[in-house]
Chains A and B, each alone.
Chain A
Amino acid sequence: MSFFIRKNQRGAKRNNGATVTGRPKTYKEKKRLAHDDEISSHSEGENDDSRVYTESEEDEETVQEKRLRLTKEYIQEIENQERIRREEHDIDKSVIAHRLKEDLLEQSGRLRRTVADSYEKVDEALIRHLHCKDHKQPITCLTISPDCQSLFTASKDCTIVKWCLVDFKKVAAIKRVDKKTSSEVKGHKSVVQSLSISSDGKFLASGDLDNQIHIWDPMTMKWMHTFRGHRAGITGLVFRRGTHTLYSASMDRTVKIWNLDEMSYVETLLGHQDAITSIDALNKERAITAGGRDNSLRVWKIPEESQLIFNGHQGSIDCVRLINEDHFVSCGDDGMLSLWGSQKKKPLCSVSGAHGVDASNNQAFWISSVAALTNTDLIASAGSQDGFIRLWKCGDNFRTLTPLLSVPVCGFVNSLAFSSDGKMLIAGLGQEHRLGRWWRNGSAKNEIVIIPLKQRETS
């Protein structure tokens, strides 16, 4: 009854939208409607919904109106942001359009930004070194929180430390736990080899060589849950962006998927023929893993329960990172740095001896870690022994790799990460490689190095 009484919008809608008798709209009518409304009502069905909706609560707006309102708010927000950025009173409409386009591309995973060329040479005086008593042994892995406010690092003495990236100080630490400590105090019993934080900053996951995955709350650093299910040490952890799904890779050659909303185990993915060394994921329900000495990189399509196999490298593949949804970069202990595309089973571009060659035995220096700035063409790679972190630019269509900058560092770079805004590159250093003691650099320190990256101002 109520909808007869409604005036204005409802009445207008009635004229445009539903016909009185309720007969199905003709094609012409539908076309007309589509033209008239800004946000077109595509069928009678929707109006039916809104009718039902408004019957129950009279003062509520319809679905269409809600959508309209939200979009307007969104555009307003972008306008404000742009205004602040530009410090002008006038806003360029095209900038808004560009921004909207970028957001759409990012959501669908097709965003590409070429920023590598705009980076300037790093001023070495501005590089910060972070030490602490909890990290007396080499740093094994690190992860940056998505708002770039805090940094989490783990080292070979089984500790996890939280740092603040604003004042560069240690905030909290999770100490090592052994048989003597009570079961109430939670921690790791063996070397922590992997860390990951979810994209909303609600969960921090850490995996060690004792087959355990601990989940912590990053704000308070309190223990939340432990996942036991792997049969060998855990070498890689990653959260799917925008969700609370955790992918874990282990030395038992399996990838396990965990759901943190329910704190439960979901499934296992099988296929690798050697211990998995590294795992990465972006927004899609996919994960990529590097399989060590079986020379394969596998992209796991989880909903379809299949895997794509990429072949390359001659030695062990040590690290793999996704640049965007279709391209990734990998490094290995054969000294090769390879760029891959998801359409080709062999690398698109390989650089051998990327970090120099050992003069004594003519073997290329190992490349121990690699990092990529998401959705751009900037890559960083770090070897263990040539003393440099190198930044590369991915060429046209990811078919070439050109060296951009090198930053001198002392020590084995066990882990590299870009902050999401591209302003910092953080490296975890140590006197030894994170997996073993093949070499030991006595003059190096077990520390975290924060390299500020500066972009050239484009006029």
Chain B
Amino acid sequence: MSKNWQVKNIVEEASDTEESEEEQKDEESFEDDELSGLDIPEAKLPILRSIVSKGKAVANDEQQYFQQNERSEDADKLAIREELSNLTFEELQKLKEKIGSKKFNLTLTGVKKKPQVKTDFKRANPNRPREISSKSRRIETKVAIQVPKVFRSDPRFDNLCGEFRERSFYRNYDFVNKMKEDEVKKLKEELQEETQPRRIEKIKYLIQRMENQIRAEKKRKLEEEKQEEEKRITIEALKEGKSPYFATKWARKERDLKEKFESLKEDGRLNQYMAKKRKHNAQRDRRHMPSEQY
């Protein structure tokens, strides 16, 4: 086991933290009420039930409430014993089984709050074992094996990641495009050998996707080059002392068209392209013409 996963001494921690809000009370709670699951009908033990439910809410601040309720405790005891006297023997047995014979006997005999129970456990020296109460119904949320919590952060909003710079980003991760090209080749080879139809579909899909991505990347690079070209012109002009060069939209469009024409000419597809364009434009113009319905 690596050092990161060493089990800490949770026992120490458990005593230090008083109630923490993280305690999820749904998880593995012991009987919420000491009398839950008792067969006796609801109406029969009103005072006892109210005391137990009050006690649950009050369990943590025992000392405070103990002082406040000292006087009424005796009255409570009497009331409980009266109630118990009204129960049948069977119901008494059930109650006894539920809360345990120790507590039951205490309520019957009306012994006062146990004097020998000490809340402050002090040991003679720190080498002695630690002593705590064995009755505290603390809901255990600490598991013996602690898994370190994984904190994820969004790099867009994380200050430590810095500001996004497109040019440096693309420059840094340019190698991925090269890997893509290699992978497309491999996939094509695989496609030739593959026989399962599902797998063939997947590979085809992947090839398509990757080729699209490569094409888009190339386009982006061209755009970048053009921008750099403009910048270069501006810099040269400034060096020579002239005013900087700012291209207008139309100038850019013109330049693009020119490049397109030249590339088509080289390929020999210019006629095809022009025919398509004419058709398309005709369609558009026809839409604007008034319709010949009547």
Which residues in A have some Cβ–Cβ distance to B below 8 Å?
253, 259, 262, 264-271, 273-274, 291-296, 299-311, 314, 342-346
Contacts and interface: CB of A to CB of B under 8 A. Distances in A.
A296 B131 CA distance: 12
B132 A307 contact: yes
Nearest to A363: B1
Interface string B1-28: 0000001011100100000000000000
A306 B131 contact: yes
A160 to B, nearest CB: 25
Contacts of A311: 9, 11
Nearest to A262: B101
Contacts of A253: 140
Interface residues of B, number: 33
Interface in B121-144: 121, 127-138, 140, 142-144
A307 B130 CA distance: 8
16 contacts: A269-B135, A270-B138, A271-B134, A274-B143, A293-B145, A296-B11, A302-B134, A306-B118, A307-B134, A308-B131, A309-B11, A309-B130, A309-B131, A310-B129, A314-B7, A345-B130
Contacts of A296: 11
B134 A300 contact: yes
Contact of A270 (B103, B121, B130, B137): B137
Interface in B160-177: none
Contacts of A266: 100-102
B109 interface: no
Contact of A264 (B14, B96, B138): B96
Contacts of A307: 131-134
Contact of B132 (A265, A306, A314, A342): A306
Contact of A294 (B10, B97, B132, B138): B10
A305 B133 contact: yes
Given A274-B144, A304-B117, A344-B128, A294 B11 contact: yes
Contacts, number: 96
B167 to A, nearest CB: 51
Given A266-B102, A305-B117, A305-B133, A273 B14 contact: yes
A294 to B, nearest CB: 4
A269 B134 contact: yes
B37 to A, nearest CB: 11
A240 B201 CA distance: 72
Nearest to B96: A264
Contacts of B7: 293, 295, 314
Contacts of B64: none
B192 interface: no
Nearest to A265: B100
A12 B179 CA distance: 117
A308 B130 contact: yes
Most chain-A CB neighbours within 10 Å: which of B11, B127, B138, B145?
A: B11
B293 interface: no
Contacts of A292: 144
A273 B144 contact: yes
Contacts of B101: 259, 262, 264-266
B129 A342 contact: yes
Which 3 pairs across A and B sit closest by C-beta, in order of nearness?
A293-B144, A274-B144, A308-B129
Nearest to A344: B127
A268 B128 CA distance: 25
B116 interface: yes
Contact of A267 (B102, B137, B138): B102
A25 to B, nearest CB: 34
A309 B101 CA distance: 27
